[in-house]
Amino acid sequence: MISPKDRQERGQAIVLMAFALVGMLGFAAVALDGGNIYAEQRRAQSAADTAVLAAAYQYMRGITASSTINNAALANATTNGYDNDSTSNWVSFYHPPMSGAYVGNSAYMQVVITERIPTALAHLVYKGPFQLSTSAVAYAKTGGPPVDGNAVVALNPTECETVQVNGNGDILVTGGGIFANSNGSGCQGNNKVVEGSGNGRVNSPTGINIVAPPAKAYSGDVTPSPATSISSIPTDPLDDLDPPVCDHNYTNLTPPHSGVIAPGKYTRLDATGTLSLNPGIYCITDNGNKAIDMGPNGVITGTGVIIYLQAGGMQLTQGTMYLKAPSSTSNPECATLMPWDAPVNSVCHYVGMILFVDRSVPPNKDIKMTGQGAWNLEGTLYAPSTLVNLDGQADWALTGQILANKFSIEGNGNKTVNFDPSVIYAPPPAIALVQ
């Protein structure tokens, strides 16, 4: 006979089995659908990565049309199973990125893929569709000369007098133009971004381009009439170029130096006579304004060299200088070694660069080149944080490109800058998946 107590417990096993079945379904859903969701997320992430790289590749090739770059990303995503049908998946392309660490930076682009995942068991314990979202960000830049077509580039974004002639000599720019990146917001009174004052003239037959509007753009003798309200450029177009590294330390050698010296690290380069630099990298550690100094009869010569000012500027008031940047001719090892494959302690990493002023050098550490003798430099003169000032009574010439925070000339001598893309530093094209 079944007791009343046993009768009351009848059916409890069924309830317990039901609870156990729900738990088992939950575990099964986690195992089955969780694995499927994880696999789909990996697939979507891989598709986002390749799609954004496809867009970055187009930009690296010099294609800047938004529609073309966007279509490249969407087409690549389609080949990987994400056709942006707005039902099962959504593919979005952003240039610049809309989220993450690179929001608003036009050097980067982003692809976001959102996918709706069908489930086998999870819908029994979870209401609503399951969606996942993945994102990929890539960096892209075109190769070739920075700010192509311009011999003199003043990078400062706001100040006045970023390109100035003050004296009786002219600045003649040939083979390329002048680009003044300032919008003139820091101008006060009658000061302008580009100024030709005294008897000096800013002369660039190829053209002068100024970011500032007409009211703040230029004054004085400036030929031809510049184009104004031009789109700005980055304040440092070579910001991803690593500073040079010198393996050999010669800072224990007391200047002045003379004769022939080897590449390496020096406190200063100081020449009272003729100082010849063997091909290579010269790192100068002086943090004043005498990183390079010469007596009245001082001459510094060198072919296939790059001078790296680590902490200071230079204000040469006498002497002459004849320097040529590294090239595949002057540095034979660079003929087969691509710059992007060369380490930062190799001169081949900086083919075309004659002077590299560290980005941390303060604005008061000018790069001032004067003297009575003839000057002749070949390559890129890169001083993103400082003023480059060409002075003196004698004529002065640079074949290549000047990238400086600000640029000015003084004195009575004529100064010529000839843009020649074959001898300047030209960074290679690059793409990279960064996020």
Q: Is the peptide bond before 256 cis (omega within 30 degrees of 0)?
A: yes
- Is the predicted pLDDT of residue 32 greater than 60, yes or no? no
Torsion angle, CA of 283/289/293/296, rounded to 10 degrees? Answer: 160
- The residue-averaged pLDDT of 286-306 equals 88
The pLDDT score that the predictor gives to residue 35 is 64
- The residue-averaged pLDDT of 48-65 equals 92
Summarize pLDDT for 402-426 with one digit per residue, the tens.
Answer: 999 999 887 777 788 999 999 999 9
- Is the predicted pLDDT of residue 125 greater than 70, yes or no? no
- Is the predicted pLDDT of residue 18 greater than 60, yes or no? no
If 0-12 CB within 10 Å is exposed, 13-18 middle and 19+ buried, where does residue 317 land? middle
Q: What is the pLDDT confidence band of residue 5, given thresholds at 50, 70 and 90?
A: low
The pLDDT score that the predictor gives to residue 277 is 95
The pLDDT score that the predictor gives to residue 17 is 58
Q: Which two tokens stand for residue 101?
A: 């660490």
- The rounded distance, in Å, linking the Cα atoms of 351 and 336 is 12
Percent of the chain with pLDDT over 90: 51
> Per-domain residue ranges for the chain?
4-141, 150-426
- The rounded distance, in Å, linking the Cα atoms of 297 and 291 is 18
Q: Write down the residue that tokens 């003023």 correspond to.
A: 387
68-to-56, 174, 305, 309 alpha-carbon distances in Å:
11, 35, 42, 42
The pLDDT score that the predictor gives to residue 375 is 76
Q: Is the peptide bond before 146 cis (omega within 30 degrees of 0)?
A: no
Which amino acid would we find at residue 214?
P
Comparing 8 with 42, which gets the higher pLDDT? 42
pTM over 0.85: no
- The rounded distance, in Å, linking the Cα atoms of 162 and 86 is 51
Task: Find the radius of gyration of the CA atoms of the chain.
Answer: 31
Q: Write down the residue that tokens 């709706």 correspond to.
A: 116
> Lowest mean pLDDT: which of 16-20, 203-207, 335-339?
16-20
Q: What is the pLDDT confidence band of residue 393, given thresholds at 50, 70 and 90?
A: low
If 0-12 CB within 10 Å is exposed, 13-18 middle and 19+ buried, where does residue 364 land? exposed
Q: What letter would DSSP give residue 249?
A: B
Q: What is the pLDDT confidence band of residue 370, given thresholds at 50, 70 and 90?
A: confident
The pLDDT score that the predictor gives to residue 294 is 82
The 10 Å Cβ neighbour count of residue 22 is 12
Comparing 292 with 71, which gets the higher pLDDT? 71
Nearest partner of 396 among 420, 423, 379, 372, judged by Cα = 372
Q: Write down the residue that tokens 């004849």 correspond to.
A: 322
- Is the predicted pLDDT of residue 252 greater than 70, yes or no? yes
Per-position DSSP letters for 62-116, written without gaps between them: T---HHHHHHHHHHHHHHTT----SSSEEEEEESS-SSSTTTT-TTEEEEEEEEE
